[in-house]
Homo-oligomer: A and B are copies of this chain.
Amino acid sequence: MARAGDEEKAFLANYKPKDYPRPSVAVDLVVFTIVDAQLRVLLVKRKEHPFKNAWALPGGFVRVGETADAQGEDLDAAAQRELHEETGLSPDRVFLEQLYTFGKSGRDPRMRVISVAYIALVRPDLAPIVRAGGDAADVQWFVVDGLKKADLAFDHRDVVQLALERIRGKLDYSNLAFDLVPLTFTIPELRTVFAIVLDKVQDPGNFRRRFNRMLEDGLIEKAPGKRITTSKPATVYRYKRG
């Protein structure tokens, strides 16, 4: 990095941004969870035009500063802030990752809006507290499968679709599945997560083999606790973060 010389300092001090039109930049969140053995996405009901009363992804505009010294919040920070505002969840308990930036002209009828989409994964045990703050009628976990017909605002259907493809693609080679189970879980429970996300039943034996490799790699460890079942209870495990 070249450090700013005197000439550059003078330049910056006198710099006035030209008055070209700028777009608004928003952050939209595709928040997934699994409840009742179904993959769900969090949607909020719009109270204003455009798309009034339609369901939309939670999100909002990035807060931008006026001056060169105070330029406003980071993009990731904006996503974390929105996540907290809309769900009440603190970002350190939630998987959050940038997905893609949607910037087609005309995607918002009011004005030019470029939207940076993020994927968030909320553990099932945290999902119930999401609606605790607001009006339950305005924030809901929608089953992703049933979403095709639903009236989503803007291009949010495309956003959800891309997010779905992303988590499906990453499930096998990442640790993403552990953000879709409670803190402790059994092998069959984790297997169910894979089955739900991939929409394909997972062979118990083969899945256990993969699971055991993760155990050997130290990615997972046994945890205390039991599940209340009507037959043989499964061993409970815990994901070792870091």
Contacts and interface: CB of A to CB of B under 8 A. Distances in A.
Contact of A22 (B8, B25, B49): B25
Contact of A25 (B15, B23, B73): B23
B116 A21 contact: no
A225 interface: no
Contacts of A73: 105
A51 interface: yes
Interface in A111-145: 111-112, 114, 116
A64 B7 contact: no
Interface in A4-21: 4, 7-8, 11-12, 15, 17, 20-21
Nearest to A112: B71
A50 interface: yes
Contact of A75 (B2, B8, B61, B104): B104
Indicate the member of A110, A112, A116 with the most B CB atoms within 10 Å: A112
Interface in A40-54: 49-52, 54
A54 B7 CA distance: 14
Interface string A93-105: 0000010111111
A49 B209 CA distance: 58
B23 A64 contact: yes
Nearest to A154: B1
A39 interface: no
Nearest to A70: B105
Contact of A51 (B2, B7, B20, B64): B2
B49 A7 contact: yes
Contacts of A114: 25, 62, 75, 114, 116
B50 A4 contact: yes
Contact of A110 (B15, B62, B64, B100): B15
